[in-house]
Structure 1
Amino acid sequence: MTRKTTLEQASESVPSAPSGQLGARVLHARLVKGMTLKEVAALAQCSESSVSKIERNLASPSLAMLHRLAHALNTNVSELTADKWPNTGPVLKAGERFVHSFGHGTEHRGIELETISTAVKGSLLQANIHILQPGAKSDGQIEHVGEEVGYVLEGSVILLLGKERYELNAGDAFHFSSHTAHGYENTGTHIARILWVNTPATF
């Protein structure tokens, strides 16, 4: 079987999380917490208008911004983006997993996360396949509690750990403390796919 080599093929037949629900979930989480737009924006290091636009589905946050919003609201990215998983047991079949798309400005588009675990808040670990289109990069670096382990399945990426840059190719692996500011970028000309596991479930 020919291996998929484009972002569209990699996402083919995989259900996407309903984008319209993100804003409602961010709004609901904020109201449940009794927080103002100003309070959430301060914790998420963004403007009040950015939070307001996300809540009204007028803007799509980058993965880094969504992570900061989830942290500010004491939840995780999966709870804000994924539908409730059907009670089908511990197995997630190929072609039946959610793929979440993230974008914030032209240079940050082309990042998708294919969920391969049903982690919720309080889970000890979480796993996704990060799918990076050529030229895609994270919106700055993030840091949080926990540890991260990854394995490059396809393509090549630059892993950013603080001021250090590591060039990784298919077959390379990494492990670092999530307290270290981290991000990545696909500087290659082909799609990159990374199996990424982190503890606890922050995404």
Structure 2
Amino acid sequence: MKKNGDTSGTVLPNLGMRLRHARLAQELTLKQLAQKVECSESLLSKLENELASPSLAMLHRLARSLETNISDLMAENWVADSPVLKPEQRRRKRFIQRNKQGGIDLENLTYNHKGGLLQGNIHIIEPGVASDGLIEHHGEEMGYVLAGELELYLGEETHLLAAGDSFYFPSHIPHGYCNIGTTVAQVLWVNTPVTF
């Protein structure tokens, strides 16, 4: 699990511009922000120039340090014409790419919009892949395992989950997961407020 960010995934469009804008709005230099998020200036520069893609843990640290949230950093410039989001309209983003093991994709079930209170995604986790460490933030989360099996880490506790299992926890508890099975795991994941 990389602490400084995973640079092998797909670059997220417009994220670099939003990071730079948020940093300048906070009147922070690259060096100051790098110290706050515990990474190198070089990595931040690559992120701002869209030459690298951050891990989910890195996005949380950036959002917290820039006094914003992941949703606002990544908000797409599209507006919902309908309350319904068809499968072919859903955006899918790769957050973690492990060279040989595969990665983790998040498929949006809700439109991204500034100020939203609720967010739903399907976490698609390939076998043997884990989230990048334990993260914690404000809010609440719940989920339902659609397929596969995984270990859910909540603080010092480990919970073994399989298809049909559901869970809930307050987001201030350090949390993460790992697909311990031999097939792709899919988890319907809902959190409030919007965090990514």
Which TM-score bucket, shorter chain as reference? 0.7 to 0.9
Q: In terms of mean alpha carbon deviation, does 43-52 or 104-113 score higher?
A: 104-113
Residue identity over aligned pairs, in percent, reads: 53
**Aligned: 1:178 with 2:174:** no
Q: In terms of mean alpha carbon deviation, does 139-148 or 88-97 score higher?
A: 88-97
Q: Which residue of 1, 21, 25 corresponds with 2:18?
A: 25
The amino acid that maps onto 1:160 is Y
Count of aligned pairs: 187
Contact persistence 2:79–2:113 (CA under 8 A)? no
Deviation at 1:165, TM superposition (A): 0.9
2:51 alignment partner in structure 1 = 58
Q: Which residue of 133, 138, 141 corresponds with 2:134?
A: 141
Deviation at 1:20, TM superposition (A): 3.8
The amino acid that maps onto 2:52 is A
The amino acid that maps onto 1:185 is C
Structure 2: unaligned runs, 5 residues or longer: 1-9
2:95 alignment partner in structure 1 = 102
The amino acid that maps onto 2:26 is K
2:31 alignment partner in structure 1 = 38
Structure 1's 152 and 81: CA in aligned 2 closer, same or farther, altered over 3 A? same
1:200 alignment partner in structure 2 = 193
Residue correspondence of structure 1 range 78-117 to structure 2 within 5 A: 78-103=71-96, 106=99, 110-117=103-110
C-alpha distance in structure 2 between counterparts of 1:102 and 1:128, whole Å: 13
C-alpha distance in structure 2 between counterparts of 1:159 and 1:82, whole Å: 27
Q: Deviations over 1:133-191 (max 9, x none)?
A: 11211111001111110000111111011121111001000001111000011111111
Q: Which runs of 4+ in 1 moved over 6 A?
A: none
Structure 1's 44 and 186: CA in aligned 2 closer, same or farther, altered over 3 A? same
Structure 1's 42 and 145: CA in aligned 2 closer, same or farther, altered over 3 A? same
Deviation at 1:56, TM superposition (A): 1.6
The amino acid that maps onto 2:44 is V
C-alpha distance in structure 2 between counterparts of 1:134 and 1:66, whole Å: 23
Structure 1's 188 and 136: CA in aligned 2 closer, same or farther, altered over 3 A? same
1:14 alignment partner in structure 2 = none
Contact persistence 1:155–1:170 (CA under 8 A)? yes
1:130 alignment partner in structure 2 = 123
RMSD: 2.1
Deviation at 1:59, TM superposition (A): 1.8
2:40 alignment partner in structure 1 = 47
Deviation at 1:104, TM superposition (A): 6.1
Deviation at 1:128, TM superposition (A): 1.0
C-alpha distance in structure 2 between counterparts of 1:31 and 1:108, whole Å: 37
Deviation at 1:105, TM superposition (A): 5.6
